[in-house]
Amino acid sequence: MNNEIKNEKVPLTGMTQSELTHLCKEYGEPDFRGNQLFNWIYSQKERNIMKMENLPKILRDSLDENYKVSSLQLSKVNASSTGQTSKYLFSIPSGEKIESVLIEEKKRITVCLSTQVGCALGCTFCATAKMGFMKNLSVGEIVDQFLFLQNASERRITNVVFMGMGEPFLNYGRVISAAQLLNDPDGIKLGAGKITISTAGIVPKIIRYADEGWKFKLAVSLNGTVDKERSKIMPINKKYSINDILSSAQYFYEKTGSIITFEYVLIENKTDSIGDALKLKYLLKGLPCKVNVIPYNSFDDSFQRPDTKRIEQFLNELKSGSFIVTVRWSHGTEISAGCGQLAVMNGDNIEN
């Protein structure tokens, strides 16, 4: 039970039921105390150890001396003018900051979680890339975002997307563990089909994910139809080409029977031509999948969103393809909470 940082309490969020049971046994308590502690943290979402009333006071006192529930500290909340979208700025124990987003749309309440501080992939159309890569988040730091946002929401969160800051598959083990905690029937109880993990196309991890048989949804940011052009905006394409990604998607489908969602950002004069739509239809022909088209959300003057007419032309061409097509109009773009806009610069929000 040595604290990782001297004189710093160790967060309980991120620990599994078995780990909490082991912890309670170290204090001489029976196994069921671990189950109670797990329930308080993940099901009842209690943030104060001393308020966990069915735990013996001596255990609460001992835990409170060495542990804390949360691994994050809330620094700031920005709400959109409609009130549908809120962006949360958190500090982690090592001092860096991350962002998460809560989106309320009719009956669907979605949270977008970060998995890294910054990102190493360097996608030129993404604000997070401007930060560079700093570190992977712990399991607790990932799950704690959800717990904070659930406590802030008046309604139960229905969907989780790992699409915030960072590349989830470059923090693979911790992301999977976080998803398992979100899905745990004794805790948060979010269905596996309501959890989506997104990747820019880390092919070996897509294969591993398929082999391990996880039931969480998988999304791949494609954002291009020609290797030369995709490599300009997504440098990871130089390592894992479009054909590599499509092959891994086919493997994933054959192995799991589940379809991949391809995310496709429409960037003016980069990915939005009728020719791109035709190529995309050709590339995905015969592959059971879904294409989620995302009109670009700008954060500087490097790229622009196509005009409405050009977006409609692209969609009209794409809808004659053999796959499902949806459109994601990002919410909260005015507070830089849209897809591709999350970033923290100089210790605060990039948009301030």
DSSP secondary structure code for residue 129 in this structure: G
Please report where in the chains the tokens 């999948």 appear, as a residue: 289
219 pairs with which residues across the strands? 198, 261
Task: Identify the CA nearest to 140 among candidates 13, 299, 17.
Answer: 13
Please count the other Cβ atoms lying within 10 Å of the Cβ belonging to residue 71.
23
- Residues whose CB falls within 8 Å of the CB of residue 70, separated by 6 or more in sequence, listed in order: 11, 13, 47, 144, 147, 148
Output the furthest CA–CA distance in the chain (Å, rounded).
69
Q: Is 339 a catalytic residue?
A: yes
CB count in 10 Å sphere of residue 349: 20
Active site residue 99: yes
SS3 labels along 224-279: CCCHHHHHHHCHHHHCCCHHHHHHHHHHHHHHHCCCEEEEEEECCCCCCCHHHHHH
Backbone angles phi, psi at 232, to 5 degrees: -70, -35
Closest residue by Cα to residue 181 from 142, 238, 209, 228: 142
SS3 325: strand
d(CA 46, CA 12): 11
C-alpha 300/C-alpha 189 separation (Å) is: 39
User: Which is the catalytic residue, given 46, 96, 99, 167?
Assistant: 99
Contacts of 178 (CB under 8 A, 6+ apart): 14, 113, 115, 139, 142, 143, 162
CB 206 within 8 A of CB 248: yes
- Radius of gyration of the CA atoms of the chain, in A: 21
Please choose, from the candidates 131, 161, 130, the residue with its C-alpha nearest in 3D space to the C-alpha of residue 145: 161
Active site residues: 99, 339
